[in-house]
Amino acid sequence: MISIEATWSRGFRPFFLGASVFAVVSMLNWMSVYLYARPVNVASVGPFLWHAHEMVFGYAMAVIAGFLLTAAWNWTGQKTLAGAGLALLFALWLLARGLMLGGVDHLAAATAADLAFMIGLFVAVARPVLKTRQKRQALVLLVLLLLAVARLLFYLGSEGLVPRGAHLSVHGGLYLVLGMLLFMGRRVIPFFTQRGVGYEVELRNERWNDIATLLLYPLFMLSELAAPFGLAGSLLAGALFMLNTHRVMQWHTLGIWEKPLLWSLFLAFVMVNLGFLLRALMQVTALPALLPVHAYAVGGIGVATLSMMARVTLGHTGRNVHLTPPVIILLLIGMLGAAVFRVLGPLADASIYPVWVGASAMLWVLCFGLFTLVFAPMLLGKRADR
């Protein structure tokens, strides 16, 4: 049964539901343009950047909002947003998505709504973090600010005010979200694994690896923005591939393969690492640039966010995260399938590239559609333990 009070009690509830519904709507919208040439006004930025913009600043930002509004509450013991304030923040995000569905006809209004949403999110997360002086969350706050700057660049670029502004916006946004995934995953995956496998195991993050990744990843991001898919980016991607290969090997224990919400996060990091490998090989092969990008986006961010939305929803609605419903296994396998079709399919046979894209999109839509059907009652209802 739907409970208005419960729905607006925590940030993950409206934003995870909004993200899953939008994932379906936006992908169907994109396929109508990509596969069936439905006309949309995207002349100032191009169809691919328009699609990527909505994946980064629409879907991913909704998941980030739901996660951080909930996590900051847990980190600090201080409330972030609930009730009318949360509803207003969600309405701003939703307004921007509606304005962008048909292209960029209403880009100025969409930009205003997006920036109001992103600034509101920053304030809601920063207030409890600063009040409790949690310095270790400073990087999260910095990324939120940079994401808002990246979103503004999209508008400035579309208006011709900043050269390559739309490109810098979308790719900068993607790499910021990916960086947040690497940063948060480094924290939570060993923690979740140690608590979830059912036996004693010590997983560690080595300090030298943390420092090297913290230094090299920003350099990689900047090199990709300054000289897209150039030699420097390939060398840095190769170094990141080696660092993260070592990291995921340190995280591995056989018990994760019995827990879908553990192996999915592990494999999401493997997919990110595949992206680094493909990116490194671009200088010596004819690999298309979109393959590593979609390894990060579909295989890394897509799989990890779906897994985390399931985990957070189960845990924060009074359900057992260690007793995974079978449908979640189907969802996670389906998302991995979407990543395989989108990234590895074209490597197997590039002559049917649109078929691989369509198959990946179909699995994406099915997975998020099923997630919505299964998790909407949890997100809209009262806790199961009350």
What is the chain's pLDDT, residue by residue, as a tens digit (386 residues)?
889 999 999 999 999 999 999 999 999 999 999 999 899 999 889 999 999 999 999 999 999 999 999 999 999 999 899 999 999 999 999 999 999 999 999 999 999 999 999 999 999 999 999 999 988 899 999 999 999 999 999 999 999 999 999 999 999 999 999 999 999 999 999 999 999 999 999 898 999 999 999 999 999 999 999 999 999 999 999 999 999 999 999 999 999 999 999 999 999 999 999 999 999 999 999 899 999 999 999 999 999 999 999 999 999 999 989 888 899 999 999 999 999 999 999 999 999 999 999 999 999 999 999 999 999 999 999 998 87
Q: What is the pLDDT of residue 204?
A: 86
- Helices 165-196 and 260-281: crossing angle in degrees, nearest 10, is 140
Q: Which residue, 14, 131, 99, is CA-closest to 63?
A: 14
112 touches 94 (CB < 8 A): no
Return the amino acid letter for 112: A
306 touches 369 (CB < 8 A): no
122 touches 141 (CB < 8 A): yes
Nearby residues of 334 by Cβ (< 8 Å), 6 or more positions away: 363, 366, 367, 370
Domains and CATH numbers, the chain: 4-380 (1.20.210.10)
155 touches 108 (CB < 8 A): yes
Residue 103 has φ and ψ, to the nearest 5°, of 120, -145
